[in-house]
Amino acid sequence: MIEILKLGDEKLNKILKRSQLDMTENASIVKEIVQDVKQNGDSALFAYTKKFDKIDLTSASLKVTEQEIDEAFETVDKKLIEVMQRSAENIRNYHKKLVPKTWTSVENGKMLGQLIQPISALGIYVPGGAAAYPSSVLMSAIPAQVAGVENIAIATPCNISSGKIANSTLAAAKIAGIKTIYKMGGAQAIAAFAFGTETVTKVDKIVGPGNIFVALAKREVFGYVGIDSIAGPSEVLVIADNTANASYVAADLLSQAEHDKLAACICITDSIELTKAINAEIEKQTAVLERKEIIESALKDFGAIVLVKDMKEAIELANTIAPEHLELCVENPESLLPFIKNAGAIFLGNYSPEPLGDYYAGPSHVLPTSGTARFFSPLGIDDFIKKSSLIKYSREALEAAHTDIEAFAHSEGLTAHENSIKIRFK
């Protein structure tokens, strides 16, 4: 059962303000871990892995061997391998359309342009431990490869009971062509990527989702390395009108709620009848789902059906929330698209559910959360490239502009700048 709210209700305000990054106690713990790994390298990395993941690591066992990858690949069900291969192809084809090209423009003795180059070394964090997320391997590594990144490494924690990385995760890495995989997780893995250790090679950028300790560690190391974004708990927002299928909407809300107890699951509708039907479906479907306890906790704390007067009000609220996933389960979803300002990924229509984006369609499922879709974008080609401006003037072109530049520099009191131009025309 999801609580039915109206604009201004206190629970809705709580959801809007929700962010796992506002936790000073965890932030101080993460800062200490990051500094320890920065100063003490492997010894600190191994100590925290032992403490948090109950795994004994050494410099010899930290990296997954090629034999381990091959053996894992052979154990995974062949049908799942084929599914992952098709998913990989979809991701690759989508991102190939987004690759920018170096360009130049020459006119009147002036050449301007932009040089596009991939970053040199990338670290991808893939959640692990209790669960396996091979989809995160594909969704992060393949766009980087399409962008031209040559040195890609993965960090993912081992399963506590087996002491090994999930076979499906290693199989996905093989499909993506990634050979450097470290058995490390948490804040210590982010620090190892950021600063390097005796065994872990330093990277230039870190991407990928993770828990609160991973998110806070990425914030801590930003500046030493680049990051994609600082991810919070997952979320879905469904805008539905009276044509929506209540069983579909309920299923999509539940698919998000099973992620964790902090997941937000919101439906905005102008139909009172639909709110009742959705709640009936939620009770029916939840009863047979495996992660029932997690789902019920997420729905209780961060689930809501918000009743609004019309679609205009629904869109205004959606833009305020700026959700990670936005589903438009309405009669004509394309008609709403021009009014959507803030969303990580937009799913149009009753047959474009959020899991389609999680696993298969092509766009990366690494998306901005906790309202950061107001200023962050989905993980994509732009996260793996650098852009350099190109400027070339002939003497004649500079001569035509030199008095303007000198006047500008003079106005700011930067006489050396002024002289740098003026000396060429004395």
Let me know whether 223 and 244 are in one domain.
Answer: no
Let me know whether 116 and 136 are in one domain.
Answer: yes
Taking residues 35-61, what's their average pLDDT?
94
Q: Which is it for the CA torsion 166, 169, 175, 181, positive or negative?
A: negative
- pTM for this prediction: 0.92
> Is 368 within the bounds of a domain?
no
Question: Which pLDDT tens digit goes with each residue over 347-396?
Answer: 999 999 999 999 999 999 999 988 889 999 999 999 999 999 999 999 99
Edge-to-edge strands of the sheet including 103-107?
A: 103-107, 110-118, 385-393
Could you tell me if 326 and 354 are in contact, meaning their C-beta atoms sit under 8 angstroms apart? no
Q: Is 324 an active-site residue?
A: yes
Let me know whether 66 and 121 are in one domain.
Answer: yes
Pinpoint the alpha helices (H) of 290-331.
Answer: 292-302, 311-321
Question: Which pLDDT tens digit goes with each residue over 129-183?
Answer: 767 889 999 999 999 999 999 999 999 999 877 888 999 999 999 999 999 999 9
Let me know whether 10 and 37 are in one domain.
Answer: no
> Is 272 within the bounds of a domain?
yes
Let me know whether 242 and 346 are in one domain.
Answer: yes
Q: How far is CA 234 from CA 147, 216, 370, in A?
A: 26, 16, 8
Among 325, 354, 365, 418, the active-site one is 325
> Is 124 within the bounds of a domain?
yes
> Is 390 within the bounds of a domain?
no
Residue 124's contacts (CB-CB under 8 Å, 6 or more residues apart) are 137, 140, 141, 144, 152, 153, 154, 155, 178, 206, 207, 208
Could you tell me if 328 and 237 are in contact, meaning their C-beta atoms sit under 8 angstroms apart? no
| Domain end position, chosen among 174, 195, 227 | 227
Q: 219-256 burial string, b = 16+ CB within 10 Å, else e?
A: bbbeebbbbbbbbbbbbbbbbbbeebbbebbbbbbbbb
Domain with 256 in it: 4-19+233-362
Could you tell me if 113 and 390 are in contact, meaning their C-beta atoms sit under 8 angstroms apart? yes
Let me know whether 345 and 276 are in one domain.
Answer: yes
What is the DSSP code (8-state) at residue 60? Answer: T
Question: Which pLDDT tens digit goes with each residue over 178-237?
Answer: 999 999 999 999 999 999 999 999 999 999 988 889 999 999 999 999 999 887 788 999
Among 220, 324, 327, 354, the active-site one is 324
Let me know whether 30 and 165 are in one domain.
Answer: yes
> Considering only CA atoms, which of 246, 266, 247 is closest in space to residue 256?
266
| Domain end position, chosen among 205, 227, 249 | 227
Let me know whether 105 and 161 are in one domain.
Answer: yes
> Is 195 within the bounds of a domain?
yes
Q: Which of 31-45, 105-119, 160-174 has the lowest mean pLDDT?
A: 160-174
The number of distinct structural domains making up the chain is 3
Let me know whether 249 and 193 are in one domain.
Answer: no
387: three-class secondary structure by DSSP = strand
Let me know whether 157 and 259 are in one domain.
Answer: no
> Is 389 within the bounds of a domain?
no
Question: Which pLDDT tens digit goes with each residue over 237-276?
Answer: 999 999 999 999 999 999 999 988 888 999 999 999 999 9
Q: What does the pLDDT read at residue 22?
A: 60
Quick one: residue 314, left, alpha or beta (phi over 0 = left, psi -120 to 50 = alpha)?
Answer: alpha
Could you tell me if 155 and 189 are in contact, meaning their C-beta atoms sit under 8 angstroms apart? yes
Let me know whether 267 and 148 are in one domain.
Answer: no
| Domain end position, chosen among 173, 200, 227 | 227
Distance CA 298, CA 326 (A): 18
Q: Return the percentage of the chain with pLDDT > 70, whole number.
A: 98
Mean pLDDT of the chain: 93
Rg (CA), the chain: 25
> Is 382 within the bounds of a domain?
no
Q: What does the pLDDT read at residue 8?
A: 76
Let me know whether 217 and 243 are in one domain.
Answer: no
Q: What does the pLDDT read at residue 163?
A: 82
Q: Is 325 an active-site residue?
A: yes
> Is 372 within the bounds of a domain?
no
CATH of the domain at 255: 3.40.50.1980
328 is written with which tokens? 């438009």
